[in-house]
Chain A
Amino acid sequence: MSLELRGLTKRFGAVTAVDNVSLTLGAGETVALLGPSGCGKSTLLRLVAGLERPDAGRLLLAGQDVTAVPPQRRDVGMVFQTYALFPHLDVAGNVAFGMVEDRVPAAERAARVTELLALVGLAGLGSRRVDRLSGGQQQRVALARALAPDPGMLLLDEPLSNLDEQLRQALKGELARLLGALGKRALYVTHDQSEAFALADRVALMRAGRIVQVGAGEELLERPVSGWAARFLGHENVFDAAPAGVLTSGRTGAVGAALFRADLAQLLPLQDAADVGVDARAMHTQAGEALTVDAQVAAAQRDGLGWRLLLDVPTWGVTVVWRGFDRELAAVGTPQPGLRLRLAAPPEAWRELPGEQHGDQHGDQQDNRQGKHVKETGRHGS
């Protein structure tokens, strides 16, 4: 059984909330819809749930067109952002709600409620009033309630966003474990990329009603499809045009945006005066060889255990952000504004960002030339 979205479009008046979105979910797969608020991710989820009718496009569940099927006959479970627990029912009543609709016999229902409450860690709280639960407990009840009728697919609408930070971290791990163990297809809406990467097999990045990129978390981080995507995912060294053109392909002239992976670069001490002021074109040595440019520390900030340096690179005409630890700075000395050093950047540190594509994307179509030899040091800022 698979879920297929084909060109789904939803307009509210003049606003196109969901714009020609196509996406396919494989069996047991969890996909996160990630994007800033107002990007249409919740609307897309509501379209899948059947709570909204699309203006165009089709929705196929297990090969069957369910575009016109009302939510109560769709075989999907949903966890709402506000949980939407029924205040007139106790915890067990909430969890059993869907099974009553499915005419599950009372004894079986009770057994399943007990089983589910144990699963979400609320054993023994069945007769508790829902307004006597903490936020985290309410969230678990909402999850148990959605799971109870054993739906073919689970929809989660920012289920952790109403919780405080500590609880969110704890529940994030728990939810990831549960989703993995259940092996259920799930669509997870969030604006928090750490949630998306922790919980989902694939992440669909949304912007202005469109899916701009789909792929595993690593792919998205390493090969963001556009400047916007790179910045949204937390990359700090995203530049427009020129330097990227110079450094990635040897061509001059503008391309789209370019991403510089400072974590792949190396900081070198200044050797002698001869190194200073080399013309940019002179740095085109042999293919695959690291380029070395002058840099000057514009600002140095302690960032937890490491450093965050702003490096002016006159040759490229930009300021890049470099993150790293003391040991990587051992050769160049204590970072302070004005310190001059050299920055050695391998060709793969530069990446052209081709721009956003639309329609169905599976991320794996790009060649994998850069491989996976990525140092982990540079990414803790994201």
Chain B
Amino acid sequence: MRLRARSNAADDHNPGPPNPNRPKFGLAKPALPNPLAHVAGGAATLYLAAFLLVPLGVILARGLAPEGEPAGAALWNTLSDPYYLGRIWFTLGQALLSTLLTVALGLPTALLFARYRFPGKRALTAAFTIPFVMPTVVAGIGFMALAGPRGVLGVDLRNSLAIVLAAHVFYNFAVVARLVASFLERVAPQLEEAAATLGAGRWRTLWRVTLPLAMPATLAAAVLTFIFCFTSFGVILILAPAARFATLEIEIYNLTARLLQLDAAAVLVLVQLVLVLGAASLYTRLQERLAVPVAPGAAERAPTAGTKVLIGADLLLAGGLILAPLVALLVQAFTSPAGAFPSFANFTNLLSVQPTLSFPGLWRALGNSLTFATLSTGVALLVGFAFAYAVARGGWRVLDQASLLPLATSPITLAFGYLLTFPLLVTTFWGIPLAHALLAFPFVARTLLPALRSMPRQQLEAAALLGAGPARTLWRVELPLLRTALLTAAAFAFAISMGEFGATLLLVRPEYATLPVAIYDRLGRPGAVNYGQALALAAVLMLLTALVMLILQRRGRSEF
């Protein structure tokens, strides 16, 4: 967008074909002086400073110069330890490998979905977004049910790299397919037609036009996948608990929660933060390059016989990968510990078990989850809206650029920062919802921001001329127009909180156990009955998340 603005200023001829998707007004200059936007900007800044910057600063201080030690000693000790170095390399390696596999599967799917129409496409698109919102614990248990010790496939892949990679692909496949496909759908089909009239056949066009065009979107999706896999926690904790599979995120958790080596944990947090921030800034750079000439035109075409085979094969592979663990989970949830199917034994066991303080039953876990999700959604919406409003209406560019930081902050990092910074807050009820709100914040902000930006400036000016000040305009024009975006953002925040695992595990006290924590707790206890209850709980959580996803599906649009 910035490029386009510059090229317009540079030559006085009229510009090329207009791009209907591009906002027609600048971002830096707000339409009208708007004190409300500055209040919102101030509030958002305060929130981010208190609940993100200060905790990160405390970790930084702790990692670089712990109390009673010379500055840099902890850093040097940790980074020269071959064990920790090994963890860093493993984390990098598995993330790169996962990303490669995800792109290898996601890119062809995106190409086929963006260019061809076939029966059931809409339903399949919906199905492909299932993993996107599935809690890590559900994904983990799904793969356990598929290829764990008691899995339906009969092979025990627990503690293998294969199952970790499969889970990561399952988790991120939709990110790649969706992001790239929605980008390709906007690319004018005339570009490919032009290639054809210039002598390029189907495969040559794919190689010389479509793939290069899809490159920025693919890289952006790959970087996002890399970030998710690099900070992978839940699925690895469940599927490959052996020490050799520990990512940095797991290592930090262990150092904090089990070994109480907070200095070393702080150093690892720093290493992780630097790497992820680097990747995240690459991601935003790539996103800026996603502006391409778009033109109306039917991009979808009927597949030829050969393409039909490709689509079939792709759907079988991708669909199988996505559905298999979820189906396995449901099958095993309805299989009694004795092996009978179908049976409600796991659910009746779950309801009949006597909960204790350290052994949460369904109702307490569910209640906690819903309470935390409601509270954190409220906070995230409030702050996310203040943020987006300040950026879009007040020209708070600094905030926009700072929004990378929450995206790059992993759940364990955040929880670790809260433990160090607010030891008292964390013992109260509020620690978990506040952490969840901050983790949901970037998603909320990134959903609301484009919606606010795409509102025509004239609408706001008309409201002002009709006598509405910024607050009245917000109430009577902007909020009604933002309804669907707010709903999408709320669904995002709710789903994130319901499924959040890492930060919750680190901050939780027994009485505040959420559904994911309760599931993990049962998995750690011996016996088929406990395993069955974990499956039943996971099925409940899956159902709840699917409900949220239905809302998302209806109007799912955000910058991700």
Contact = CB atoms under 8 A, between A and B. Distances in A.
Contact of B7 (A73, A100, A132, A146): A132
A137 B3 CA distance: 17
Contact of A145 (B4, B7, B198): B198
Interface string A334-362: 00000000000000000000000000000
Contacts of A70: 196, 201
A88 B14 contact: no
A93 to B, nearest CB: 10
A131 B188 contact: no
B212 A80 contact: no
A152 to B, nearest CB: 12
A243 interface: no
Interface stretch (A3-11, A17-25, A161-169, A214-222): A161-169
B201 A97 contact: no
B190 to A, nearest CB: 4
Interface string B169-212: 00000000000000000001011011111111100100011001
A51 B297 CA distance: 13
A87 B293 contact: yes
Contacts of A74: 197
A149 B201 CA distance: 15
B211 to A, nearest CB: 10
B258 interface: no
Contacts of B554: none
Given A131-B4, A163-B14, A84 B188 contact: yes
A134 B197 contact: no
A72 B200 contact: yes
B68 interface: no
A100 B207 CA distance: 13
B295 interface: yes
A61 to B, nearest CB: 14
Output the residue of A73, A77, A84, A135 with the most chain B CB within 10 A.
A84
B198 A83 contact: no
A144 to B, nearest CB: 12
Contacts of B199: 72-73, 98, 101-102, 149
Contacts of A145: 194, 198
Contact of B16 (A71, A83, A146, A167): A83
B13 A137 contact: yes
A80 B193 CA distance: 9
B198 A97 contact: yes
Nearest to A52: B193
Contacts, number: 113
Contacts of A80: 190, 193-194
Contacts of B215: 88
B10 interface: yes
Nearest to A75: B199
B11 interface: yes
Contacts of A83: 16-17
A132 B10 CA distance: 8
A86 interface: yes
B213 interface: yes
A100 B209 CA distance: 13
Nearest to B191: A84
A50 interface: yes
Contact of A71 (B7, B10, B196, B213): B196
Given A82-B190, A131-B16, A138-B16, A101 B204 contact: yes
Given A87-B293, A101-B204, A149-B198, A135 B14 contact: yes
A136 interface: yes
A50 B196 contact: yes
Interface in B192-240: 193-201, 204, 208-209, 212-213, 215
B378 to A, nearest CB: 42
Interface string A23-53: 0000000000000000000000000011100
A76 interface: yes
A145 to B, nearest CB: 7
B35 to A, nearest CB: 37
Interface string A90-133: 00000001101110000000000000000000000000000111
A185 to B, nearest CB: 15
A78 interface: yes
B15 interface: yes
B292 interface: yes
A162 B198 CA distance: 22
Contacts of A49: 193, 197
B15 A82 contact: no
A87 B213 contact: yes
Given A88-B212, A88-B215, A146 B197 contact: yes
Given A82-B295, A162-B17, A163-B14, A72 B191 contact: no
A87 B197 contact: no
A105 to B, nearest CB: 16
A188 B13 CA distance: 24
A84 B10 contact: no
A123 B193 CA distance: 27
B292 A87 contact: yes
A86 B11 contact: no
B533 to A, nearest CB: 54
A84 to B, nearest CB: 4
Contact of B193 (A84, A89, A164): A84
Interface string B333-370: 00000000000000000000000000000000000000
Contacts of B208: 97, 100
Output the residue of A71, A77, A89 with the most chain B CB within 10 A.
A71
A268 B67 CA distance: 111
Interface in B1-23: 3-4, 7, 10-17
Contacts of A134: 11-16
Contacts of B4: 131
A155 B198 CA distance: 12
Nearest to A46: B193
Interface string B126-164: 000000000000000000000000000000000000000
Contacts of B188: 82, 84
A72 B17 contact: no
A82 B13 CA distance: 16
Contacts of A162: 16-17
B13 A78 contact: no
A167 B198 contact: no
B193 A51 contact: yes
Contacts of A73: 199
Contact of A135 (B16, B197, B204): B16
Nearest to B194: A84
A82 B197 contact: no
A39 B194 CA distance: 23
A167 B14 CA distance: 9
Contact of A82 (B10, B14, B213, B293): B293
B201 A72 contact: yes
B201 A86 contact: no
Nearest to B213: A88
Contacts of A88: 209, 212-213, 215
Given A132-B10, A135-B14, A97 B195 contact: yes
Nearest to B10: A132
Contacts of B15: 134-135
A-B pairs, 7 with minimum CB distance: A134-B13, A98-B198, A101-B199, A84-B190, A71-B196, A84-B194, A78-B197
Interface of B: 3-4, 7, 10-17, 188, 190-191, 193-201, 204, 208-209, 212-213, 215, 292-293, 295
17 contacts: A49-B193, A70-B196, A70-B201, A73-B199, A74-B197, A80-B190, A82-B17, A82-B295, A84-B193, A86-B212, A100-B208, A101-B204, A131-B4, A131-B293, A133-B11, A137-B13, A164-B14
Given A78-B197, A86-B213, A101-B199, 13 more contacts: A49-B197, A50-B197, A51-B197, A72-B195, A72-B201, A73-B199, A80-B190, A83-B16, A84-B190, A88-B209, A88-B212, A98-B199, A145-B198
